[in-house]
Structure 1
Amino acid sequence: MAFKDHYQALGVSPSASADAIKRSFRKLAMELHPDKHNNSAAATEKFSRINEAYAVLSDPKKRAEYNYQRYLNHSHYKEKPLARSAEEILLQSSKLAVDIQHRDPLRIDRDILLFRLMEILSDHNLGILEEEKNNAVTTSILQNILASAFHLPFPYAKPLFSKLNALAENDAGNTRLITQFVRQSSQQYFWNRYKIYVALALAALFCFLTYLATKGNQAV
């Protein structure tokens, strides 16, 4: 049975916000409602399809589960053999970092990126790194992971934090790298989210000061 692409059905990207998904669904539901197409079989099928897609993508838990299945069914995905050494894990993280570096940041599928990072930070891999205790290799892996995770919005990156702390293994330098990443990621997220309000506040302040200056000149 072919895998159903719910994002394609609703005409949105995999990175679409919940509001964008809702808007697209409502628009399509009005356009494709069977009552507007004499209850034709084709219209009924399309209407049913977008309802199914919205039922999944509007529920955060169902969407997360669907995204993982979508990742597993993605054309580029191949089940990988388990790593056998820290060097193999380093190679995995290096390949991902290089891949992400050459992608358009606006076109990165955040869910797939998160899943790939979680694979590198699997319990199996963390166990190998704990057993080998090669600090130089662990630090390189951590740097590759942070370079890739930089493209994830702060809420997306949260599932990585406990894994990253386990990877740091109480190493002061690695812990510092993680702390810096978390701080920068959160600051960037909140800046992007609220910068429009800051800009509006500054514009309002500028207008108010201009008004006061004008009134002062008129009084003179």
Structure 2
Amino acid sequence: MIDGLNYYQILDIPEDALLKEVQVAWRKFVKENHEDVVPQQERQAAKERMFRINEAYAVLSHEEKRADYDNAYMLNGGSKIELVRSRVRKAKDIMLRDRSLITREEMKLIESIIDYLDRSTQERCFAWMTDILCERPEMAKHVVTSAFDEQLLGVNSHLLDRLLEKAPYAMTWEKIYLYGEEILGIAGKENKERNYNQLARILCHRLDLAKHFVYPSFQEQASGCESCLLPTLLKLAPNEITQDHFNDYIDTVHSMRWIVYGQLRSYNEQAIAWIMKARPDLVRKPEEKPTPKELPLPLRS
């Protein structure tokens, strides 16, 4: 916030402005405040205006900085509801346009408001992205996060199916890793298992990234979920499991005390047996027995 104006007001653009609109506004102000067109007596004021304009442009033209600014702006009294509503309106307008003209930034805008939509609108958004992907495979890398969101939200629009079919290599290990982390946070064992099964499908298409599926496989087992992720990993790429991976998993299992987590511990012991059968070279370290607490000696009367 500068001189009582937020960055959007400084550039005289709406809060749902796309990058192209930000750039157009900035160029307009640059031309208006250039020293060649500003009278001598106004140049200092123009210079100060351009300082504020450039500061606003540096933030709003940068995706991550803009997201941070929006969050801070809303915390400082800006209206999150109005910001979201304006972006939802713009997203709906974008979805009515010719799909061959849709840009990466417009895809990102739609992706950013998915969580704020009702179920039926979410389904329409994902279906629209699926159509985009089918018509324009070059846009694949811009729908990866949305394909994972589709699964996390339990929407069946076939976006992930089309992505695996047309452009599985658009998925980076970073996005797959984040997907695995988000699975841990969703509610319901059945929902988690369904998403872990989707990770197994992704693994089948991206064996070159198999090492990044090791920890999600162990996390799945430790949470008590029963999907085909670990069996798929053991079948297709067991050698990606290192001794360090295995040690970390063993530590997790050993932390499950039988008296409290009996059923979960038993399930994970079975998983350990599967792993050691597929990888007999891995060594299971012994479990440390808990040290019994010493009772205080009775005080003499």
* TM more than 0.5: no
- TM-score between the two structures when normalised by the length of structure 1: 0.41
> Whose helix fraction is larger, Structure 1's or Structure 2's?
1
- TM-score between the two structures when normalised by the length of structure 2: 0.31
Asked which structure has the greater CA Rg, the reply is 2
